[in-house]
Amino acid sequence: MDNLKVIFHINEPARWQRVLLNANNFVKDVGQENIDAEIVANGDAVTAYFEIEDASSSSEKLNENLYEKMNKLSKMGIRFAACRNALRMHSLDEQLLPPFVTAVPAGITEIAKKQAEGYAYIKP
Amino acid sequence: MDNLKVIFHINEPARWQRVLLNANNFVKDVGQENIDAEIVANGDAVTAYFEIEDASSSSEKLNENLYEKMNKLSKMGIRFAACRNALRMHSLDEQLLPPFVTAVPAGITEIAKKQAEGYAYIKP
Amino acid sequence: MDNLKVIFHINEPARWQRVLLNANNFVKDVGQENIDAEIVANGDAVTAYFEIEDASSSSEKLNENLYEKMNKLSKMGIRFAACRNALRMHSLDEQLLPPFVTAVPAGITEIAKKQAEGYAYIKP
């Protein structure tokens, strides 16, 4: 079987836990060696890459263990991308992104190109 | 014309009426004999498969006639799937799913595989 | 490179600014001559095509400059579609749609067919 190629799209911070859970279930179900998956964050969702240290003070606990979950998934082969337009709009410095996150010129272009290359699109 | 192949993805209970309306409009527009469509529920959306009997007491009437609508669509050829990870997370017994719903190991995998087979993805 | 083909799907009025921003970033990033893009509105999202004149009175300013942004994007080659089922459900007269918007029989069918033709799907 060819690898299952998937793009997860997230543009709302509140959906991170759901995205990470979905990605984790996907890896567990199909096996790390059989997937080619990337999580593309644009819009307000990119802020979560920088709020990780504030996780413990989040009243909603939405960011609880966010960094650990992302980091673990990245070690299982899931790639993370951040839209540069969104970073600029939120005055965020891409040099300060977690090491496992790659900045892309435009999240929408990344998603469109990957689908043209045969990736499935999932919006958790 | 080949059949139009579509996966509808739902992961939030409040969106069921919208998904079912979209699927119904799709069948009416294209014709039952020309479609190959599946509704894949994961996350909290799987709970709706089990709350059907409580529909009449819903203050929001969100579930009003939910079972009837699902059942009617299933008779028009629309398939329904439930993510087994989500069922487990909500302690729901897949033996008690409505007869027209199939449990799949992981909703995300189902959606990814179907897209790899040429299904369009729609998130109502 | 072939043109990048994208369908943007919107079914909630509150997401228009996001959709238009995403489409605008996409055109700026890839170039007007390299894209083939359509925004398909169904559900409640079609109402925004008719509420444009009320924009200045919107307390949330969600519709601020909505018409101008849509019009500008249409001049950059982005197409706009409205689901006829949704128009009917909201008792909206398709004759009164802005000149750059085309009514389609069913938004879901439009989205499914375009994906079958190789368009990427994005739900902002």
User: Which residue type, as a one-letter code, is found at position B3?
Assistant: N
Asked whether residue B56 carries a pLDDT value surpassing 90, the answer given is: no
3 state SS of C115: helix
Taking phi over 0 as left and psi of -120 to 50 as alpha, with beta for the rest, C43 belongs to left
Chain C CB contacts of A85 under 8 Å are: 25, 29
Please, are residues B118 and B4 in contact by the beta-carbon 8 Å criterion? no
As beta bridge partners, residue C103 has C82
The answer, for A5 touching chain B at a CB cutoff of 8 Å, is yes
Quick one: CA dihedral A85, A87, A88, A90, positive or negative? positive
Residues from chain A contacting residue C25 (CB–CB below 8 Å): 83, 85, 106, 108
What are the two backbone dihedrals, phi and then psi, of residue A17, each rounded to the nearest 5 degrees? -60, -40
Which residues in chain C show pLDDT less than 70? 1, 52-64
Give C121's contacts in chain B (Cβ within 8 Å): 120-122
What's the pTM value of the predicted model, to 2 decimals?
A: 0.92
Torsion of CA A20, A23, A28, A31, to 10 degrees: -140
Cβ pair A93, A49 in contact under 8 A:
no
Question: Residue ranges of the alpha helices (H) in chain C?
Answer: 16-30, 66-75, 84-89, 107-116
Chain A hits for B81, Cβ within 8 Å: none
What ipTM was assigned to the predicted interfaces of this complex? 0.90
Give the per-residue pLDDT at B108: 98
β strands within chain A, DSSP E: 4-10, 35-41, 79-83, 101-104, 120-122
pLDDT of residue B53: 54
- Does C112 lie at the interface with A, CB-CB under 8 angstroms? no
pLDDT at A1 (0 to 100)? 62
Nearest to C108 among B5, B22, B118 (CB): B22
Give the integer Cα–Cα distance in Å for B86 and A25: 10
In this complex, which of C4, C18, C124 lies closest to A112 when CB atoms are compared? C4
What is the identity of the amino acid at B69?
K
Q: Give the containing element (helix H, strand E) for B24.
A: helix B16-30
Residue C1, pLDDT score: 62
- Determine the pLDDT at residue C53: 54
At C60 the pLDDT is 45
Rounded mean pLDDT of B71-95?
97
Among all residues of chain C, which has the CA nearest to that of A8? Answer: C122
Can you tell me the distance from the alpha carbon of B106 to that of B121, in angstroms, rounded to the nearest whole number? 16
**Cα angle C36, C39, C45; round to 5:** 180
Tell me how far apart the 2 most distant CA atoms of chain A are, in Å. Answer: 44
**pLDDT, position A83:** 98
Among partner residues C108, C113, C121, which is closest to B25 by beta-carbon distance?
Answer: C108
Residue C64 confidence (pLDDT): 56
Ranges in chain A, pLDDT < 70: 1, 52-64
d(CA B83, CA A28): 14
pLDDT score recorded for residue B51: 80
B88 touches chain A (CB under 8 A): no
Judge whether B117 and A4 are in contact, CB under 8 Å. no
H/E element holding B30?
helix B16-30
